[in-house]
C-alpha cells in the first residue's frame, strides 16, 4: 500500500511539473516555413512583396520571409523588374524553382504554395554601357572618325555591327539553366572586324571584350607605313614626281615626291592599294598588298630613257649594218680569189 501511495504521489508531481497534454499542445508554436528569394545575378535592393508584405534583397541579392506551414496559396510580386545598376541596368527574365513545370515569365507569381522551405530564383539579364577606342600597335591613339564600322560576335552567336567611336549597350550577364537552377553567365564578345578606308584592320577573333568586367575597351588596329621611291627606270636616279594612290575603298589621293624621289605615308590601313607615278615619263600602275610596312619602288620611263634607248638601238642597228656589209664584201673577195686561183 505504501508503494502504491508513493507512485500516486510521483504521478501527481509529474503532472504538475509537465502539465496536462492539452496544455502542451496549446503551448507548442505553429510550424513555419522559410521562403528564400534569390536574384541571379546577385542584385541588392531588388523589391518584392509576399501577400502584400515588402521584401528587399540584401547585398548578396537574397530576401527571406517566414510563413505558416499550410497548403494556402500565396502571391509573390516583383516590384522592380527593371533595376539601374552601376554602368547599366538589369531586367527581369523569369522565375526559376517555383515547383511546377511551367516557368513564370511575368513579375507576378500567383498561386505559390509554400508547403516546405522554398527557394525561388528571380533571373535577370544585365546590360552595361561600354566605351571603346582604338590604338595602333605602338599604342598610339587612332582617331575614332577613321573607323567606318566594327563588328563583334558574342559567345552565344549574336553578331552586332556598330558605328566607330560611339558607346554601346551590351549584354553583360545572361541567365542560363544548369541542373534546374539559374546561373548568371558572363557574356564574352569577340572582335570580328574594324573597317578603315574600306578594309578590315584586325584579325578576327583575336581580341575580346567582357562588358561585366570592363566599361572601357581598347582595340588594337593594324596600321602600316610605306615609303614610295620614284626612280628613273634606266639609270635609277631619283625623280621628283607626283604619285597617285588609290585606297581600298576607291578613294584617290595625290602625293608629291621630293627631289630625293621619296614620299612617305604613315598609319595606312593594311589592305590592297593601287599606286602610280605620274609626271614626265611613263609609269605603269601597280597593285600593292600592304600587309607590312615596306618600301615600294616606282620606276618611270623618262624621255631621256627613250632617247637613250632609241640612240642605242640606232647605234646597234648601224653596227649590224656595217658588220653585215663587211661580211658581204669579204665573201665577195673570197669568191674572186677562188676563181683566180682556179
**pLDDT at residue 319, rounded to an integer:** 81
**pLDDT at residue 30, rounded to an integer:** 65
The span from the CA of 164 to the CA of 319, in Å, is: 68
The span from the CA of 321 to the CA of 331, in Å, is: 15
The widest CA-to-CA distance across the chain, in whole angstroms, is 187
**pLDDT at residue 9, rounded to an integer:** 44
Mean pLDDT by 10 residues, the chain (342 residues): 48 46 52 94 97 96 94 94 95 83 79 91 97 94 93 93 88 94 96 96 96 94 95 89 94 92 94 89 89 92 76 80 77 75 66
The span from the CA of 195 to the CA of 209, in Å, is: 18
Tell which residue, 117, 109, 124, has the closest CA to residue 36.
Answer: 117
Residue 275, preceding peptide bond in cis (omega within 30° of 0): no
C-alpha cell at 130: 561600354
CB burial readout 315-340, b (16+ within 10 A) else e: eeeeeeeeeeeeeeeeeeeeeeeeee
**pLDDT at residue 103, rounded to an integer:** 60
Tell which residue, 9, 10, 8, 83, has the closest CA to residue 46.
Answer: 83
**pLDDT at residue 12, rounded to an integer:** 46
**pLDDT at residue 320, rounded to an integer:** 82
Amino acid at each position: 500500500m505504501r508503494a502504491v501511495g508513493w507512485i500516486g504521489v510521483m504521478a501527481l508531481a509529474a503532472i504538475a511539473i509537465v502539465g496536462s497534454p492539452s496544455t502542451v499542445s496549446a503551448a507548442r508554436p505553429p510550424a513555419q516555413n522559410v521562403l528564400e528569394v534569390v536574384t541571379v545575378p546577385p542584385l541588392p535592393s531588388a523589391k518584392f512583396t509576399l501577400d502584400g508584405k515588402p521584401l528587399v534583397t540584401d547585398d548578396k541579392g537574397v530576401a527571406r520571409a517566414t510563413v505558416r506551414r499550410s497548403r494556402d496559396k500565396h502571391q509573390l510580386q516583383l516590384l522592380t523588374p527593371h533595376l539601374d545598376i552601376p554602368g547599366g541596368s538589369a531586367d527581369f527574365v523569369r522565375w526559376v524553382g517555383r515547383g511546377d513545370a511551367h516557368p513564370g515569365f511575368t513579375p507576378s507569381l500567383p498561386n505559390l504554395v509554400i508547403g516546405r522551405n522554398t527557394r525561388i530564383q528571380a533571373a535577370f539579364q544585365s546590360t552595361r554601357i561600354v566605351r571603346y577606342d582604338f590604338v595602333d600597335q605602338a599604342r598610339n591613339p587612332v582617331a575614332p572618325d577613321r573607323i567606318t564600322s566594327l563588328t563583334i560576335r558574342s559567345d552565344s552567336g549574336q553578331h552586332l555591327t556598330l558605328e566607330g567611336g560611339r558607346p554601346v549597350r551590351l549584354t553583360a550577364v545572361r541567365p542560363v539553366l544548369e541542373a534546374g537552377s539559374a546561373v548568371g553567365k558572363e557574356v564574352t564578345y569577340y572582335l570580328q572586324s574594324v573597317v578603315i578606308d574600306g578594309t578590315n584592320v584586325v584579325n578576327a577573333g583575336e581580341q575580346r571584350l567582357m562588358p561585366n568586367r570592363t566599361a572601357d575597351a581598347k582595340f588594337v588596329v593594324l596600321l602600316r607605313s610605306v615609303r614610295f621611291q620614284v626612280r628613273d627606270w634606266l639609270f635609277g636616279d631619283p625623280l621628283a614626281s607626283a604619285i597617285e594612290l588609290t585606297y581600298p575603298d576607291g578613294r584617290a589621293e595625290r602625293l608629291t615626291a621630293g627631289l630625293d624621289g621619296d614620299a612617305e605615308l604613315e598609319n595606312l590601313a593594311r589592305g590592297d592599294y593601287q599606286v602610280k607615278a605620274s609626271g614626265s615619263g611613263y609609269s605603269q600602275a601597280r597593285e600593292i598588298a600592304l600587309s607590312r610596312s615596306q618600301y615600294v619602288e616606282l620606276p618611270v620611263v623618262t624621255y631621256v630613257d627613250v632617247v637613250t634607248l632609241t640612240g642605242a638601238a640606232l647605234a646597234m642597228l648601224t653596227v649590224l649594218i656595217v658588220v653585215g656589209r663587211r661580211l658581204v664584201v669579204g665573201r665577195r673577195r673570197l669568191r674572186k680569189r677562188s676563181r683566180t686561183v682556179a
